[in-house]
Amino acid sequence: MSTLSVPLSPDLESFISEMIEKGAASTKSDVVRQALVRYREDQAVEAVLRAERELSEGKVLRGNIRDIVDKMP
């Protein structure tokens, strides 16, 4: 596991302290880890929603995946 040092604004520092006081996390690191996991999940959901939107707009690749890749520059 690696360690990352990130400067935080006073507002974010206060938010992290609130999360610990409320029992949402046990440490500052735990708050940040939870936030990163949530961000990753949000990005995955956004990718699915984007794909659904493109599908409904007709922006779909059809055919054999190898043939499609071969046609790419």
pLDDT (0 to 100) of residue 30? 97
Per domain, the residue ranges of the chain are: 10-71
H or E stretch including 72?
A: none
What is the reported pTM? 0.71
22-69 pLDDT per residue, tens: 999 999 999 999 999 999 999 999 999 998 998 888 887 777 778 877
Output Rg (C-alpha) for the chain, integer angstroms: 20
Higher pLDDT, 16 or 69: 16
